[in-house]
Amino acid sequence: MVLDTGSELSWLHCKKTVSFNSIFNPLLSSSYSPVPCNSPTCKIKTQDLPVPASCDPKGLCRVTLTYADLTSTEGNLATETILIGGPARPGFVFGCMDSGSSSNSQEDARTTGLMGMNRGSLSFITQMGFPKFSYCISGVDSSGVLLFGDASFAWLKPLSYTPLVRISKPLPYFDRVAYSVQLEGIKVGSKVLNLPKSVFIPDHTGAGQTMVDSGTQFTFLLGEVYSALKNEFIQQTKGILRVFDDPNFVFQGAMDLCYLIESTGPSLPRLPIVSLMFSGAEMSVSGERLLYRVPGLSRGRDSVYCFTFGNSDLLGIEAFVIGHHHQQNLWVEFDLINSRVGFAEVRCDIASKRLGIIV
C-alpha cells in the first residue's frame, strides 16, 4: 500500500484489471461489510473527504477520491477486521475501489491500495488509535521502515522536533487534518534567502500552510519563495551545472529549472545544500536528492535532470508541500500526543536491516 500522510481514507483495489497484480476480493471475506449510505459513518464521518460521499443504486455509500497528480479512484465504503501488531480490530472503515484513472500504471502494478495517515476521523492512524508513528524512506531501493509506537533505538540519533500547527476555525484553503508545520526560512549553502517571515505564514484564507506529505513525490513552494530559491540555486551553481534552456519544457507541470548533465559522467558535481528551516528543526536536502533524472529524455550525450523543488502556483496548490523525495534517509516521527513532528538523519536501508523489516 502507498503510505500517504496527506490523505485520509485507506482503500484497496477490489476489481481485477490488467494494471493490477493484486486486489482485495471482498467475496472471500466473512467479516467484510459494505456501509449503507444512510448510516452515520457515511453521512458524518466522510465530511473531511475532498468530494462528498453519495448513494449508489443499491443504497450503499459511494466515495470518490482525487489526488494532486490527477489520479482518481472510486468505490464503496466498507468495514473490515484489521490485524496489525496486536489484537484484531473489527469495524475498520476503508474504501473498496472498483474504478478510477491513474497517471502511473507502473506504480499501480506494484501496489494494492493506499494507507491514509492524516489526522482525519477515517484515517488509518486515527481508527487504529496509535499515539505515534514513524517511517524511514530509503533512497537506495524499496527498503524502508514503518513503525507504530515508540522508536527507542540506540543507533537512532536524537530527533529534532517542530510543533504541528493547528487552527480552531475552518478556513477555505487550510487543510485542518494535514500534518501542518511552520516553515520559517530556506537556506542555500550558508545563505538564507532574503524573504520576509510573512511569506511562510498562512493568510486569512488559510492559503500558505506547510504540509509534510509522504504521498507527494517532490517538494512544492509558493511562487515568491520558489522564485527566490530557484534564482539563488542558479547563482550558486553557475559554472558547475548547465541549464537546460527550453522555455516549453516544464517537468510534471511545476518544475521549470532543469539541467543538462553528461550521461557518461561519473556522478553529479558537488552541489550546495538546500535547508528547510522550521521552528526547532531543519531538513537538509543535498546531493542526488536535489536533482531528478527525467526518464527517457536526453539531448545528444546529455541526460536531463530537474531541480526537485517545484512551483505550487503552477499546480494550483495554495500551500507548501514537502514530498517524500526530500524525506529520504530521514527518520520522520509523527507524535500525535505531543502534537509535533521529529526528524533525524539515518541510512534507511541500514535501519530496515537492523529492524528486519521491509515495506
Q: Which residues participate in catalysis according to the annotation?
A: 4, 213
Q: What is the DSSP letter of 352?
A: H
| Run of H or E residues at 97 | strand 89-101
- Tell me the C-alpha distance between 272 and 229, whole Å: 12
- Displacement of CA 80 from its chain's centroid (Å): 26
Reduced to 3 states (helix: H, G, I; strand: E, B; else coil), residue 4 is strand
| Run of H or E residues at 117 | none
Residues 104 and 62: beta-carbon distance below 8 Å: no
- Displacement of CA 269 from its chain's centroid (Å): 28
Torsion on CA atoms 25, 28, 33, 37, rounded to nearest 10: 40
- Tell me the C-alpha distance between 164 and 156, whole Å: 22
| Cα 285–Cα 289–Cα 290 angle in degrees, nearest 5 | 75
Q: What is the DSSP letter of 80?
A: E
The β-bridge relationship of strands 132-137 and 144-148 is antiparallel
Q: What is the DSSP letter of 339?
A: T
| Cα 277–Cα 280–Cα 284 angle in degrees, nearest 5 | 35
| Cα 274–Cα 247–Cα 243 angle in degrees, nearest 5 | 45
Q: Could you tell me where the DSSP H helices lie in 89-182?
A: 105-110, 124-128
